[in-house]
Structures are given as structure tokens and as C-alpha cells.
């Protein structure tokens, strides 16, 4: 049996039309989207299928929308009898990874991400933020630039996505200053179209309320190994996982270390479960060239059938 890891995308993977053919095919997928609509009190399913993109991309809609598609793809895979030994999710996607490991139920996953999106949106309206992708420098170099950049304002590392692709986050002036400093060292700095400074102290005002909300949920021990954003490590304790998810809100996403950990665990098949191919692109930059593995993206009926065919 191959060692399989399910990888779940987060914000930035959305596209109008996502999840629609699975919705049309399966009753259990319709139930997931109905739950997302009910929990959010909004037409999340319609934003996924018909847009408009501006409405879909609002954080308060986007978090339950991407999660609903992730969970729909996951449910379809599980219905086909395919299971995994490892799960990981990028930022928002980590909640879907918890669902795949049975740490929280699908309905509770949607409740958690809707609250998370609401709180993040609220804080982004209070504190104007920016994010930028720095490409071409190692994490140590970016950390040093960020440390200097804090003289200008709030700035930190949001995502260590691949060895030399690192996203910074914070106040617009500070992010701009660090971006310019990175360019002076030969890197590229790409401003990201976001509505807030995610994974930064500028949304720390959401932390206390979110911790209180997390405390109202039961987190079970995982049925498979989840590699967490905050530690790039596993935990078998539900309460500890709950603590890590509270920290995740304002902490860096250690995605590069997560993928390296999955390679260390000898994962042979990586399956991106959800919309887009963002995580597949990062895999290509992070998995050693001589490491034997296969990659699948499951976002619709056609890709689901390809995976089932491969494993049958």
C-alpha cells in the first residue's frame, strides 16, 4: 500500500465554478454545500459556482467556500474508498486536514472557518495590511530583513512556501520597505492581492475571541498523521491540536518544512484535495528531484476518476 498524503489548499486557490460538477453528481456533496450556506447565512454555494469573483474573494465568504470545496472533494475520495496516512493543509486548508483525520467533524470544520473568516475580516477593516511574496532568498535572509523592517512598522513572515518563496505580511509601509530591501539583494518582490495582513500581529485582536470559540469544540485524536503549520510536526493529542490552531492565526505557515517532513516520512503519493494547483506548484519546488513520488489534484469528477483508476 502506497503512503498517501492529502494536501488541502487555502485562500488563493479559488475559482468561480469550483465544486459544481461534484455538487451535481453527489447528494452528500450537496449536503456539505447546504451546511456551508446555513452556517454562513450566505449563498456560499452560489458564490462558488457563479461568483462574482469579488464577492467570493471576500475573506468572510472565501474561508467557508474553499473549505466546502475541499470537504466535497475529500468526501468524494473517501466515498471511493481511498484513505491517507498523512494530512496537511496550507493555512485555512489545515482545518480540512483536521476533518480528513477525524479531529473535528465536517460541520464543525465549516463552523470554525466561518468564525475565523469573520474575525479576520473584522480585524482587516481595523488595521490596513499588505502581503508580498519574496522570491529568490532563503528564510534566514528574509528573517534578517524582517527584523530590520520592524523599525518601520509591523512586519513578519506569513508563509515559508518553498525554499526560496517566502510571503511577508504586515503594515503596508513596513512590507514595502522589506520588499525593496529584498530587491536590493537580487530577489523579486511580488505584492499579493489580499484584504488583510494574514498571519501577522495586525489580526491579533481576533485571537482571544477565537480561542474562546475553539474552546467550545471537541478536538479528537487524529485517525491519521496531521503535520501542523505551526510546528511542521505531528500531535496525537486533541487538546494540543486545539492549542496549535489558536496559535496558527498569527504564526508563520511552515509549509516548506511540512513538505520536507512528509518526504522524510516516505510519502509516495501527494494528493491536492480541493480547487487549484497552488500546492502542486510548491511541491515541485520542495520535493528533491530524485525523490520517487506521484502527484494528483482532485478538484472535479474527471480528476477524481483519474485517481480512482490509478489506485484500483
The predicted-structure confidence for 218-260, as pLDDT tens digits, reads as follows 999 999 999 999 999 999 999 999 999 999 999 999 999 999 9
Pairwise CA distance, residues 78 & 87, whole Å: 13
pLDDT at 63 over 90: yes
Helix axes 59-79, 27-40, angle to 10 degrees: 160
pLDDT at 2: 86
Domains of the chain, first to last: 4-125+201-311 (3.40.366.10), 130-191 (3.30.70.250)
Do the beta carbons of residue 217 and residue 108 sit within 8 Å?
yes
Q: Which of 13, 45, 87, 91 is catalytic?
A: 91
| Chain centroid offset of residue 126 CA | 23
Dihedral over Cα of 123, 156, 219, 283: its sign: positive
Mean pLDDT of 105-124: 97
Distance, CA of 243 to CA of 255 (rounded, Å):
19
Is the pLDDT assigned to residue 171 strictly greater than 90? yes
91 is catalytic: yes
Distance from the first to the final alpha carbon of the chain: 11
Catalytic pick among 87, 199, 228, 286: 199
Task: Kindly report the average pLDDT of the chain as a whole number.
Answer: 97
**Span 177-222, pLDDT tens digits:** 999 999 999 999 999 989 899 999 999 999 999 999 999 999 999 9
Task: Report the C-alpha gap between 296 and 292 in whole angstroms.
Answer: 14
Amino acid at each position: 500500500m502506497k503512503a498517501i498524503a492529502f494536501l488541502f489548499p487555502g485562500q488563493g486557490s479559488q475559482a468561480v465554478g469550483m465544486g459544481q460538477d461534484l455538487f451535481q453528481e453527489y447528494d452528500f456533496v450537496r449536503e456539505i454545500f447546504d451546511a456551508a450556506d446555513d452556517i454562513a447565512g450566505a449563498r456560499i454555494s452560489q458564490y462558488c459556482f457563479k461568483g462574482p469573483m469579488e464577492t467570493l474573494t471576500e475573506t468572510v465568504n472565501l474561508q467557508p467556500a474553499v473549505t466546502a470545496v475541499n470537504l466535497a472533494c475529500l468526501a468524494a475520495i473517501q466515498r471511493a474508498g481511498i484513505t491517507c496516512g498523512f494530512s496537511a493543509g496550507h493555512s485555512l486548508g489545515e482545518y480540512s486536514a483536521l476533518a480528513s483525520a477525524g479531529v473535528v467533524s465536517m460541520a464543525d470544520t465549516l463552523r470554525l472557518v466561518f468564525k475565523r473568516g469573520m474575525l479576520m475580516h473584522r480585524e482587516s477593516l481595523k488595521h490596513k495590511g499588505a502581503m508580498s511574496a519574496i522570491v529568490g532568498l532563503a528564510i534566514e535572509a528574509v528573517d534578517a530583513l524582517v527584523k530590520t523592517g520592524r523599525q518601520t512598522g509591523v512586519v513578519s513572515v506569513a508563509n515559508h512556501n518553498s525554499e526560496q518563496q517566502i510571503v511577508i505580511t504586515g503594515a503596508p509601509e513596513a512590507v514595502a520597505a522589506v520588499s525593496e530591501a529584498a530587491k536590493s539583494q537580487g530577489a523579486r518582490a511580488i505584492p499579493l492581492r489580499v484584504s488583510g495582513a494574514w498571519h501577522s500581529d495586525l489580526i491579533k485582536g481576533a485571537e482571544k475571541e477565537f480561542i474562546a470559540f475553539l474552546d467550545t469544540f471537541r478536538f479528537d485524536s487524529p485517525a491519521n498523521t496531521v503535520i501542523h503549520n505551526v510546528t511542521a510536526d505531528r500531535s496525537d493529542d486533541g487538546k494540543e491540536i486545539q492549542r496549535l490552531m489558536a496559535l496558527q492565526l498569527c504564526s508563520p505557515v511552515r509549509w516548506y518544512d511540512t513538505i520536507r517532513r512528509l518526504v522524510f516520512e516516505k510519502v509516495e503519493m501527494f494528493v491536492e484535495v480541493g480547487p487549484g494547483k497552488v500546492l502542486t506548484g510548491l511541491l515541485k519546488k520542495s520535493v528533491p528531484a530524485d525523490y520517487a513520488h506521484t502527484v494528483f489534484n482532485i478538484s472535479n469528477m474527471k480528476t477524481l476518476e483519474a485517481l480512482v483508476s490509478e489506485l484500483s
